[in-house]
């Protein structure tokens, strides 16, 4: 089978990780993979897996009805015809529109993945553009599609994200020690988050929680890894609270599998998540998680078993849950072990790849 994955860009992030995971799985099963995006820092990673990438500059636009999307669709349709691609797989609203046009022009079908939650704007209801099937990454996303976006239940297929437990795995003590020395947090109880610095990820609540936590857990440090529009604002918040040496920032965000194991607790105080891939990656590394009780995070983290779920926008609850894990190392170890086991059993890459291929076959009438 020849598959075309489409997204707005190919920079570090959840959708890019999703496409790379699918690409690797497809290639290993003998399928051909093409990727069309506006480009980005992870393109070389796709090429290294054996996928082919087409840069379509117009895909960087954010408006679903931007005139340049007709040019993007023409480019994509030519790619599909020239390479006899079987199916298109869109990851974003913009690429859904492009896939609908390109699919019609090239006489190929397309499917989409819903990675999160969206406002039920009139345009989405009048022009759904989900294709032959809508892949949902978690049960809450299924409910969102049927309830808010009015997608017929028969058109939705639940295929949870998978985590490569070979790459995301607990590290040796000497490896963790070296990593912590690199970030100058050798002996400190260490809290971590790896996420884009944007409102939806809830970093501000974690910083507020650290203002309380440093009094109850002396020496605790928080390492915030990522880039984004809120970087300056979050650093100012840290200075305002007086946490200059307790909350550290790093822009090294392209190697989460290497960084995750050094944390004592991984925190995901998001306001919205389709599933919570970073929380799943942390658990695969044997790290207990504290996360918001919202969206797909209620599926990603098993409350009281692999981590704690707390109300969103609640720094006090966040601080209390983190402190409990930092102060009870045996509990943290049990949560970490249970988290890795759950990822291996419920969120495997193999199940994700095979499940998505089954969606393609059904859409193509090959089931």
The model's pLDDT over 273-323, given as tens digits with 9 standing for 90+, comes to 999 999 999 999 999 999 999 999 999 999 999 999 999 999 999 999 999
Say whether 128 sits in a helix, a strand or coil: coil
Q: Both 252 and 311 in a single domain?
A: yes
State the average pLDDT over residues 164-186: 93
Lowest mean pLDDT among 57-71, 168-182, 204-218, 241-255: 241-255
| Residue 121 located in a structural domain | yes
Q: List the 307-310 sheet strands across, edge first.
A: 247-250, 221-225, 190-194, 265-268, 289-292, 307-310
| Residue 232 located in a structural domain | yes
| Residue 22 located in a structural domain | yes
Give the pLDDT score at 188: 85
| Residue 190 located in a structural domain | yes
Q: E strands along 236-282, which residues? A: 247-250, 265-268
User: Which residue, 272, 264, 266, is CA-closest to 312?
Assistant: 272
Percentage, residues of the chain above pLDDT 70: 99
Give the pLDDT score at 65: 87
CB 69 within 8 A of CB 92: no
Give the pLDDT score at 121: 87
DSSP 39: -
Residue 173 has pLDDT above 80, yes or no: yes
Q: Which residue range(s) make up the domain with 81?
A: 2-162+348-363
Residue 78 has pLDDT above 60, yes or no: yes
State the average pLDDT over residues 3-9: 98
Give the pLDDT score at 281: 97
Q: Both 235 and 116 in a single domain?
A: no
| Residue 177 located in a structural domain | yes
Residue 253 has pLDDT above 70, yes or no: no
| Residue 214 located in a structural domain | yes
What sign results for the dihedral spanned by CA atoms 291, 295, 297, 302?
A: positive
- Enter the tokens of residue 19: 């496409």
Residue 367 has pLDDT above 60, yes or no: no
More confident residue, 169 or 367: 169
Dihedral pair phi/psi, residue 217, rounded to 5°: -125, 85
DSSP 223-237: EEE--STTHHHHHHH
Residue 233 sits in a domain of what CATH number?
A: 3.40.50.2000
Q: Both 185 and 272 in a single domain?
A: yes
- Enter the tokens of residue 363: 């859409």
Give the pLDDT score at 255: 83
Residue 235 has pLDDT above 60, yes or no: yes
Q: Both 178 and 327 in a single domain?
A: yes
Q: Look at the chain and report how many structural domains it folds into.
A: 2
Give the pLDDT score at 12: 85
State the average pLDDT over residues 191-201: 96
Q: How far apart are alpha carbons 279 and 266 in whole angstroms? A: 7
Q: How far apart are alpha carbons 24 and 310 in whole angstroms? A: 35
Q: Both 191 and 202 in a single domain?
A: yes
Q: Both 84 and 43 in a single domain?
A: yes
User: Which residue, 313, 273, 279, is CA-closest to 296?
Assistant: 273
| Residue 46 located in a structural domain | yes
Q: Both 99 and 240 in a single domain?
A: no
Q: Both 218 and 152 in a single domain?
A: no
| Residue 167 located in a structural domain | no
User: Which residue, 53, 13, 15, is CA-closest to 33?
Assistant: 53
DSSP 215: H
Q: Both 178 and 308 in a single domain?
A: yes
CB 142 within 8 A of CB 136: yes
Q: Both 334 and 354 in a single domain?
A: no
Give the pLDDT score at 71: 95
Lowest mean pLDDT among 91-100, 178-187, 331-340: 178-187
Q: pLDDT-derived band of residue 209, with 50, 70 and 90 as boundaries?
A: very high
Q: Which residue has the tokens 């966040």?
A: 318
Residue 329 has pLDDT above 60, yes or no: yes
Q: Both 136 and 66 in a single domain?
A: yes
Q: Both 256 and 315 in a single domain?
A: yes
pLDDT in tens, 21-74: 999 999 999 999 999 999 999 999 999 999 999 999 999 998 888 999 999 999
Residue 254 has pLDDT above 70, yes or no: no
């Amino acid at each position: 089978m020849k598959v075309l994955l489409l997204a707005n860009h190919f920079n570090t992030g959840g959708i890019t990780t999703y496409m790379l995971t699918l690409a690797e799985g497809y290639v290993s099963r003998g399928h051909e993979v093409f990727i069309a995006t506006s480009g980005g820092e992870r393109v070389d990673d796709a090429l290294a897996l054996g996928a082919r990438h087409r840069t379509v500059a117009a895909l960087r636009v954010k408006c679903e009805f931007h005139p340049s999307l007709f040019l993007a669709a023409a480019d994509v349709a030519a790619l599909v015809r020239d390479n006899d691609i079987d199916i298109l797989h869109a990851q974003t609203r913009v690429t859904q529109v492009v896939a609908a046009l390109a699919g019609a022009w090239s006489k190929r079908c397309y499917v989409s993945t819903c990675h999160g939650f969206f406002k039920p704007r009139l345009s989405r209801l009048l022009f759904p553009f989900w294709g032959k099937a809508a892949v949902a990454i978690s049960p809450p996303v299924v409910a969102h599609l049927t309830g808010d976006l009015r997608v017929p239940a028969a058109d939705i297929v639940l295929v949870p994200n998978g985590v490569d437990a070979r790459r995301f795995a607990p590290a040796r003590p000497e490896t963790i020690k070296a990593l912590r020395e690199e970030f100058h947090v050798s002996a400190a109880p260490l809290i971590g988050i790896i996420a884009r610095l944007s409102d939806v990820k809830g970093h501000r609540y974690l910083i507020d929680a650290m203002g309380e936590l440093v009094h109850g857990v002396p020496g605790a440090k928080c390492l915030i890894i990522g880039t984004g529009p809120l970087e300056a604002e979050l650093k100012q918040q840290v200075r305002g609270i007086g946490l200059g040496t307790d909350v550290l920032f790093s822009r090294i965000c392209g190697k989460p599998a290497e960084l995750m194991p050094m944390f004592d607790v991984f925190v995901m105080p998001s306001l919205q998540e389709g599933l919570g891939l970073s929380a799943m990656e942390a658990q695969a590394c044997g790290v207990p998680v504290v996360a918001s009780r919202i969206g797909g995070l209620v599926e990603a983290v098993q409350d009281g078993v692999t981590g704690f779920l707390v109300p969103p926008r609640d720094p006090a609850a966040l601080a209390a849950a983190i402190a409990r894990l930092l102060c009870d190392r045996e509990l943290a170890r049990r949560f970490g072990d249970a988290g890795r086991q759950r990822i291996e059993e419920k969120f495997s890459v193999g199940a994700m790849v095979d499940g998505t291929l089954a969606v393609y076959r059904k859409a193509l009438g090959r089931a």
